[in-house]
Amino acid sequence: MKKKHAKLISIFMCFVLVLFAFGCQSNTESAFKAGKYTGIGKGIHGDIKVEVEVDDTKILSVKVLEHSETPGVSDSAIAKVPQEIVDGQTVAVDIVSGATYTSNGIIEGTKAALTEAGGDMEKLSQKKEDTTERKTEELTTDVVVIGAGGAGLAAATSANQNGAKVIVLEKMGKAGGNTAISGAAFNAVDTELQKEFGIEDSIDKHFQQTYEGGDKLADPELVEILVNNALPAIKWLESLGMEFEHKIFTVLGGMWPRAHDPEKVLGTGFIDTHMEYAEKSNGGVEVKINTNATELIKEGDRIVGVKAEGEDTDYVIKATKGVVIATGGFSQNKEMRDKYNKQWEDISNLMSTNHPGATGDGIIMAEKAGANLVGMEWIQLLPMGDPETGSLSGNIEQGVEDRIFINLDGNRFVDEGARRDVMTKALLEQKDQTMWTILDSHSYPTGDEENHFGETANELVKAGRAFKADTLEELAEMIGVDADSLVKAVEGFNKGVDEGKDEFGRTLFKDKIDKGPYYAGKRVPTVHHTMGGIQINTKAQAINAEGNVIPGLYAAGEVTGGIHGSNRLGGNALADINVFGKIAGESAAKGL
């Protein structure tokens, strides 16, 4: 009997071993067909071509082969996303903040390649569990700057130049903020350069246009600081190694030709200049990315530090001299937009030009610490948003003087050199709230010239983001507007060039639109700038509800209010962040 039981047990065990072997074989079947595969994803400027190499069981490499993304803005995504896919063996990786479209394009291209390789996309789309154990670290420095955009980095450089050690906290995956993706036009009265181009200007004119352009609702003392220190701020940047083109132009809603254009694409020149300074500072300026400031530390009535959350570390950072808030505005925070908006009928569904991190964090932190908020109801819209993304990229204009706007019927509808709020209000009243920007080869003699976002007209046409035709009639057919109306609109503009004004009250002219080929680009309203924020004085010190200085707290850039009133002139933001960023850093370093 025992022998019989032993025999049955042996048979059962053999059966189990067979099942186990079969199961092991199933688990070790090839996950992929080994080889190299390519896939295409959609970036912000066009297709991103990705090459993925796999063996039987895993992803070996992900490489971006071709793309048209913006250098300096997309670099971090192109470096980080492929590596994280390989490290995690999953396409469920985090996007790189500030490079959303590039990140998604790389992921989309990788998915296409892995699908061709026979991968199980359900398994490959599962997010890897984060098992990192968090730790707490206490640090002490002279100055803490919250935000590594243009204002924050200007403050950090300035504070260090004035003898302070600085820690900069940036919640996004890279430095740059809105500055990095901006058109980078920098308003400054520069009479010596302007005279070369036959332009008369003055500090008084810049003041009046800024103050009156904001309906006289700004603090005139802050406006005085802005316009008087704009050109010195450019000279300061040049002393740090930044380069500007030898030209002057009028940016959309700028009201006058006083905008300076950096040599580097977009606003990357500002960010690169300060980051290079930080790298050479021997630890004088330390920038911590992926580190989100959550709370200001207050002792009595003084701000003495910041609490923050890093990727795997919680920080308590004491600042012996001061804290500078430079976190930008709240254009990407729909709840805050709806809460404060009194200017527009409904902007809840509008896209924004801003980077994803513009969510008003610094304003909320400062208010909790007692800071007074001013001008929060004033939210700037632009008529120049990309129809798909809301961003300013793809905008074909080179300057205000040489282009017109037409609606979907082919008619002009506004002074194209007016205030930004005036132009956008007019666009909101048009069919589908959509317009076409029309210009000619005076702006693009060959088509290979770049706009203010590093894109050529030929590239935009190839990507389907702009249209090009030898005649206005052909252009009208391409974009679906009435040809007679378009021709009449252009004739009206050209008459205005001859006479110096036209039926819409326009006064900014240069060349006629009469030289083919002609170009058109579609644009829609988009949320661009929030004029309200933390109240500051001329030393960039934060002010409380009683009108008193909050010791140890400073602010600069779009996080502040009171500088632009109800409407910001185009080109004044870059002046603002650099002028007041520099002041905030100096004030904090000196403990004012």
| DSSP alpha helix (H) spans, 40-99 | 75-88
Distance CA 414, CA 512 (A): 18
Query: Among 258, 420, 465, 568, which one carries the catalytic annotation?
Result: 420
Any residues with CB less than 8 A from the CB of 509 and at least 6 apart, and which? 401, 496, 497, 500
The DSSP secondary-structure symbol of 457 reads H
Distance CA 277, CA 284 (A): 10
Clarify whether 258 is annotated catalytic.
no
Q: CA of 457: how far to CAs of 327, 464, 488, in Å?
A: 34, 11, 24
Q: CA of 311: how far to CAs of 163, 176, 407, 460, in Å?
A: 30, 19, 48, 38
Q: Which of 41, 102, 43, 108 is nearest to 75 (CA)?
A: 102
Distance CA 394, CA 520 (A): 11
- Count of other CB atoms within 10 angstroms of residue 133: 5
Distance CA 158, CA 477 (A): 54
Distance CA 217, CA 334 (A): 24
Strand-strand pairing, 135-146 and 166-169: parallel
At residue 342, what is the residue type?
A: K
- Count of other CB atoms within 10 angstroms of residue 276: 14
Catalytic positions are 420
